[in-house]
Structures are given as C-alpha cells and as structure tokens.
Amino acid sequence: MDADEFRKAAHAAIEDIIQYNTNVANNTHPVLPSIKPGYLAPQLPKAAPEHPQSWQDIQPDITSKIIPGLTHWQSPNFMAFFPACATYPSILGEMYSSAFTAPAFNWLCSPACTELETIVLDWLADALHLPTDFRSDSPGGGGGVIQGSASEAIVTIMVAARERYLHRKCDAEGLPNPSPERDARIAGLRSKLVALSSDQAHSSTAKGAIIAGTFHRTVKTSFEDELAVHPDALEATLRKCIADGLEPYYITLSYGTTSTCAQDPLHLLAPVLQNYPDIWIHIDAAYAGTALVCPEYANPPEGASSTTEAMTNGTSPSSQPLQKPTGLLPQGPSILCQVDSFNTNMHKWLLVSFDASLLYVRSRRDLTSALSVSPAYLQNKHTDSGLVTDYRDWQIPLGRRFRALKIWFVVRSYGIEGLRAHIRRTVRVGEHCAKLVTESKDGKELFELVTKPAFGLTCFRIRPDAIPRALVRRSSALDANSTENVETESTMNGSPFGTVEQQDEVAQNQSKQQSLTKMQPTQAAEDLANEFSKQVVETINDQCQLFLTSSSTHGKTFIRVVSGNTNASEEYIEKAFETIVKTTRELFVKVEKEKQT
C-alpha cells in the first residue's frame, strides 16, 4: 500500500468507523452478536492469501464478517461488566501511536514517548486529587506509568512487593548482599510468602499470586460490612497467616470491587497495617478510581459515604459493623500517602480506548530494583546518566506502546471538566436505575437492592418473597407456618400471579402475616431468588438486545446494571428495566407451567 492508496483507504476506514459509531449509538446493532461459536472460519480461506489484495477487497469484510461477530461495548444497551469507553480523540491517539510504532522501552528509543507519559501521568495524578507523593517530581521518588491493564499493573506490583519484602528481611537480618547465605534465606522465605486481598477483590490478585509464585489468602467480608474489609477480619487473617508459618508481603485493597463496587476503608485498615510495615499496600481502583476526578468523590462532604447503611441480612458480621462513614477515602485521597501503589484504568470509564491503565507508586526504586535487568545491548549513556526514565524497568514486557498520546488527546479534547461531566452524567444514569428498583411499583414488588448503588453500578436481585409461593412450595417442603401462607395466597390469587392489584393485596397480607409470625423467607425462596436472578440475565442476554452480567457472593446472586459508557442514558435504562421486569414475570410463568407438566 503506497501513500496514495493509504490516503484513500484511511479516508474510507474513517468513514466506516464514524458510520459504525453512529449506528452503535443509535442502537442499530443488537448489543450482542447472534452468531454461533466458530462462525468465522467457514467464511475465510483456509490459508493466508498468497497474492496481495487491494483495500477495496479487504474493507467490505469488516461489515460482512467482523461486525456480525462483535459485542458492541459502546452500545447504550451495554450494561454488563464495567464499560470500556472509546472516543474519537482516543482513536486518533491510537492512529498516531501506530504510525510512530516506537516500542519505547528506553528513553532513547523515542524520548517523546517517555516524556509525554511522565507529563500526562503527573497531570492525571493532580486531576485525580492523588497525593503529590505519586508525582514524578515528588521528593520521595514516586511516579506513574501506563500499563496495559489493571491485571498487569497488579502482577507487576506484586513482583516488586515480593522482592522488597525478601530484601528488607535479609537486610534486617544483616545478611550480606550478595552472599550464598542471603540466597538461601531468600529461597526459604519465598516458599512462605502470602499475598492478601478481600474475598471481593478482583481475580487479578489471585492470578498475580500464581504468577509471582506465592500463596494467596482472602479476608472474609460480609454484607453487614457492605462487603468491605473489616479491620478485625484483616487482623485475624494476618495472625492466622503468621500462625501458619506464612509471611504476608502484599495486600490489595479495593476502591470499587468488580461485583458490587465495595470499598475497603483504608482509614480503618491503615492502623492495623501499620503493625506490619513490610506489607506492600496496593489500592486497586481499576474502575471507580477515575471518579476521583470529581471533587465530591475525592473530598466527600463530612459524614458522606459512597457506601450505605450496613445491611442487616441475618448473617453475622466479623464483629462490630464498620464505623460510619465507610468507603475507602472518607477523608479524601490524602490518606493514599499511606499506601505504596494505586492503579486505575482510563480505559474503563474515563473515555480512553483500551488499553490505558494508570499505575502510581510512591517509590519508583521499589519497581526498578525488582525489575531492572540491563544486558549490554540495552545500556546507553542516557540511561547511565540517571537523568532519564526507562519505563522498561517499571513493567514486565520490554517494548511498550505509545499510549500517552491517546490520554493526552482525550484530556485536552474534553478538559478535566469534560471528564468530570462524563462521570457525573453516568452516575446520574445509574442513580436513575437504582430509583427504578427501589421506587417503581414493579421494582418494589419484584426486586431488592443487594448493596448500595455506587459509581453508576446497581446490584439487585429478585426478592425471595416475590417468588410465587406455589413455586417455593414445590421447591421444598415448607414449614407449617409457611404452608399456611401458601394456601392462603394460592386461594386469593386464583392463579399463581393474579393481577398486580391482587398481588399487592397478597403481598400486603403476606407481609402482615410474616411480621405476625416473624417468619423469615425460607431457604427455598432464597435459592429460587438466586437462581431466577441468574436466569433472568441469561434469558435477556440470549436475546442479544441488552447485555447484563450477574454476580454472586455470600449466598446472594444478583443482577448488575452498569451505566458508564458514553451512550448510556436514562431512556435506555428505563427500557432495560422494563425488559428485566417482563423477563422476570415471564420466567415465573414459564417455570410454573414446567412444574405443572
């Protein structure tokens, strides 16, 4: 392809991309593809073409073969996982990055790549209200680096944490470096290292421990503590590890867990961790961390919390429920100066296309001393001068992409105020979803929140007491009291469901009776609520028009609705909610019919 051919092809590709984006925003494509696994191979030749093909031959295959197999993450009906926002300035950044293709592992490989990265990471540290310790010019030698993903950031940090722990311990024991005794001690210690995280943390910590070759243990959480780590539970887990002969070297604390956006309360956990000064504290804020661009998240008003009143669901808390306010940063992110590292993904919520994961460390030496290997062919006078940053020492791969460009373009095109506006708008869309669950007639009748909505994420499930009693009765032998209820209700309904008014009446009678007899929802109803919540999501996803995810923790399975992408809107949330209600009611009828036959 020569320059003229490229010009024509690029113009055509840009038109195609604009058309695609417009279609997706207008919901022209169902959010999920309806193809079957293996759909592509029969449409493509068995072998790569022997002879060159023209762009005119290549481009149409995007529309005919690739788009039918895409899941449209920018669709307003994409409410699954967390968003992965793509924007035009970001796409432009990718184009230039690809054109320059500079795998800038050392400063000299393309000084602009390194220097722009340092600058935009400092901009973002300030924009996110992070402590100045994380800036590249901090006296303590902190700094930021762009990683491909949060998982990559976490495993990189775990390796640095492991090495820091091992060497600190050997230094404290006075073992000379290098020495055979030190090597032997390190080998012995390595087999005992254990990384910690809560049982809600993203799986990347467990995976990181596998890659770092260490154990991983979780700190148990409970709904009573809003799925956040309780200081007593942390202390108990640490003590247990030590009693078992293990060496805790690292902990992930979360600002916005994947399932429910729970936040570990750093201000309550830091005092516990102060007694274990060699443990590396990492904050995984992969999704929610970008909300810190808004002052109301970075410096929440006194007494405010982005989590809610403790939920009382009958499970026993680790001890006393957490003091209020909870949340990772109730006093603002200045407390982050007590942690060793922090990551957040711009490629989730903050308008930069995948991949752009920001990783900040308080001491870059911890990273570089763990990861720096300098064979002769990588040495140069600039590196030797100590005046430049070689980001290869801050990451696992050697080569790296010029990701700073797309961040630079996005930040300049939107301005920090534009980034804030996006976060605030999508949070409002999420709040609308939560309102539908808690305030609409259908919502009140059918669903219950599982956790307080946070960061545009709403987690709810079918209420156990909304499951038709006939189904519950069939599912398990009910106790005498509840059988009585079932009979009453069945008679009143005449059908398992009746009209909405009848159901209201039934619900009122039922709740009166339940409060009289102090009857808890039976386990059968709980199990059905879980099973049906999952089935609702699967049924909806099978229809390809709306994409949701379900999750499960501590005996509750629930529906997650996320509203973070640029095309998210209240209108689509309302339609999605209608679909969830309709599917739930249809599922009740279907299962009832199946049970009868």
Q: Which stretch binds ligand PLP (CB under 6 A): 122-130, 225-233, 284-292, 566-574?
A: 284-292
Q: Please, which residue, 136 or 344, has the CB nearer to ligand PLP?
A: 344
Q: Quote the least distance from Cβ 114 to ligand PLP, whole Å.
A: 22
Could you say which residues in the range 317-346 bind ligand PLP, by CB under 6 A?
A: 345
Q: By the 8 A CB rule, do 82 and 564 touch?
A: yes
Q: Please, which residue, 110 or 563, has the CB nearer to ligand PLP?
A: 563
Torsion (CA) 567, 296, 413, 82 in degrees, nearest 10: -40
426 binds ligand PLP (CB under 6 A): no
Q: Quote the least distance from Cβ 252 to ligand PLP, whole Å.
A: 8
Q: Quote the least distance from Cβ 285 to ligand PLP, whole Å.
A: 7
Which tokens sit at 304?
A: 């405010």
Q: Which of 75, 138, 151, 368 binds ligand PLP (CB under 6 A)?
A: 151
287 binds ligand PLP (CB under 6 A): yes
What DSSP designation does 454 have? B
Burial annotation 160-180 (CB, 10 A radius, 16+ → b, else e): bbbbbbbbebbeeeebeeeee
Q: Which of 77, 118, 290, 357 binds ligand PLP (CB under 6 A)?
A: 357
Q: Quote the least distance from Cβ 552 to ligand PLP, whole Å.
A: 16
Give 84's strand partners: none
Give 359's strand partners: 145, 343
Q: Please, which residue, 60 or 397, has the CB nearer to ligand PLP?
A: 397
Q: Quote the least distance from Cβ 355 to ligand PLP, whole Å.
A: 7
Taking each helix axis from N to C end, the angle separating 180-190 and 150-172, rounded to the nearest 10 degrees, works out to 130
Q: Which stretch binds ligand PLP (CB under 6 A): 207-215, 225-233, 268-276, 279-287?
A: 279-287
156 binds ligand PLP (CB under 6 A): no
CA-derived radius of gyration, the chain: 27
**DSSP annotation string for 321-356:** PPPSS-SS-TT-GGGGGGSSEEEEEHHHHSS--S--
The helix or strand, by DSSP H or E, that contains position 248, with its residue range, turns out to be strand 247-254
Q: Please, which residue, 206 or 371, has the CB nearer to ligand PLP?
A: 206
136 binds ligand PLP (CB under 6 A): no
150 binds ligand PLP (CB under 6 A): yes
Instruction: Classify 176 as helix, strand or coil.
Output: coil
Q: Which stretch binds ligand PLP (CB under 6 A): 143-151, 208-216, 296-304, 430-438?
A: 143-151
Q: By the 8 A CB rule, do 83 and 565 touch?
A: yes
Which tokens sit at 237?
A: 């887990």
Q: Quote the least distance from Cβ 562 to ligand PLP, whole Å.
A: 10
Q: Between β-strands 247-254 and 215-219, what pairing exists: parallel, antiparallel or unpaired? A: unpaired
Q: How many residues bind ligand PLP (CB under 6 A)?
A: 15
Q: By the 8 A CB rule, do 462 and 444 touch?
A: no
Categorise residue 110: left if φ over 0, alpha if ψ from -120 to 50, beta otherwise. left
Q: Please, which residue, 369 or 541, has the CB nearer to ligand PLP?
A: 541
Q: Which of 90, 204, 263, 535 binds ligand PLP (CB under 6 A)?
A: 204
Which tokens sit at 262?
A: 């729970």
Could you say which residues in the range 237-256 bind ligand PLP, by CB under 6 A?
A: 254, 256
Distances from the Cα of 77 to the Cα of 205, 277, 295, 328, angstroms: 30, 46, 29, 30
Q: Quote the least distance from Cβ 357 to ligand PLP, whole Å.
A: 5
Q: By the 8 A CB rule, do 253 and 281 touch?
A: yes
182 binds ligand PLP (CB under 6 A): no
549 binds ligand PLP (CB under 6 A): no
Could you say which residues in the range 25-84 bind ligand PLP, by CB under 6 A?
A: 82
Q: By the 8 A CB rule, do 305 and 326 touch?
A: yes
Q: Quote the least distance from Cβ 465 to ligand PLP, whole Å.
A: 32
565 binds ligand PLP (CB under 6 A): no
Q: Which of 85, 104, 238, 286 binds ligand PLP (CB under 6 A)?
A: 286
Q: Quote the least distance from Cβ 143 to ligand PLP, whole Å.
A: 20
Closest of 74, 70, 97 to residue 85, by C-alpha: 74
Distances from the Cα of 14 to the Cα of 515, 577, 590, angstroms: 63, 35, 47
Q: Please, which residue, 343 or 493, has the CB nearer to ligand PLP?
A: 343
Dihedral sign for Cα atoms in the order 156, 119, 410, 286: positive
Q: Which stretch binds ligand PLP (CB under 6 A): 149-157, 172-180, 264-272, 415-423?
A: 149-157
Q: Under the rule (CB under 6 A), what is the footprint of ligand PLP?
A: 82, 149-151, 202, 204, 254, 256-258, 284, 286-287, 345, 357
